[in-house]
Amino acid sequence: MSEATVKETPAVPRARTQNGAVNGALTSDMGTTTIDDGVVAKIAGLAAREVSGVFDMGGGAARALGTVRGFVGADKSVAQGVAVEVGERQAAVDLDLVVEYGSAIPDLASAVRKNVISAIERMCGLEVTEVNIKVDDVHLPGQKSEDAPKKEPRVQ
């Protein structure tokens, strides 16, 4: 599998950082912008899912909880399988992935890492110090999705 292409974007101007700021607070002469951890997690989750070969995100328990949420009508969380730590100017990201069988995991991890870094730096203006990727499972062809509705039992 070849690495996904990441669009080149112009450099994002970095706002001056105020001393003592938390959660990615960016300061300019016109005011302060604070970026919540949840925002960075959603951006990272969406960017990771854009890469071909990523089937799902989250460990077994997280995916099971997402399935239960789906049964009660709630939307699946785009931040499932994502943990972030956001500081004054930097962010670190941990991702749990389920990959499609046949994907070259090192190439996939590299493409996911590049896409996540690009999205966070472009959208948030934060420097991404690391993106740690844990592959939790491999989705096999023909394997039922956990999101698929359960069939009724054939016998009672």
pLDDT tens digit sequence for 105-147: 999 999 999 999 999 999 999 999 999 999 999 999 887 755 5
Asked if 98 contacts 63 with a C-beta cutoff of 8 angstroms, the reply is yes
- Tell me which residue range forms the domain holding 49: 35-139
Predicted local distance difference test score (pLDDT) of residue 82: 97
Q: Is residue 54 part of a domain?
A: yes
Over residues 1-19, mean pLDDT: 41
**Helix, strand, or coil here: 33?**
strand
Task: Note whether residue 151 is domain-resident.
Answer: no
Nearest 5°: the CA angle 25, 13, 130 is 65
- Mean pLDDT of all residues in 30-35: 86
pLDDT at 75: 58
Q: Is residue 61 part of a domain?
A: yes
**pLDDT, mean over the chain:** 78
Q: In whole angstroms, what is the distance from residue 30 CA to residue 47 CA?
A: 30
Tokens 């972030």 belong to which residue? 84
* Residue 84 within any structural domain of the chain: yes
Is 15 among the domain residues? Answer: no
Q: Which residues pair with 94 in a beta bridge?
A: 83, 132
pTM: 0.70
Q: Distance between CA 85 and CA 83 in Å, rounded?
A: 7
- What local confidence, expressed as pLDDT, does residue 12 receive? 39
pLDDT given at position 88: 82
Question: Into how many domains does the chain fold?
Answer: 1
- Does residue 86 form part of some domain? yes
Element (H, E) at 119: helix 105-124
Token pair, residue 31, equals 């005011």
In a domain, 21, yes or no: no
Residue 32 scores a pLDDT above 60: yes
- Give residue 59's pLDDT: 78
Taking residues 51-59, report their average pLDDT: 93
- Residue 155 CB: number of other CB atoms within 10 A? 3
3-state secondary structure of 118: helix
Token pair for residue 67? Answer: 């399935």
Asked whether residue 28 carries a pLDDT value surpassing 70, the answer given is yes
Q: Is residue 16 part of a domain?
A: no
CATH of residue 45: 3.30.70.1350
Specify the pLDDT at position 30: 87
Residue 38: both structure tokens together: 């949840």
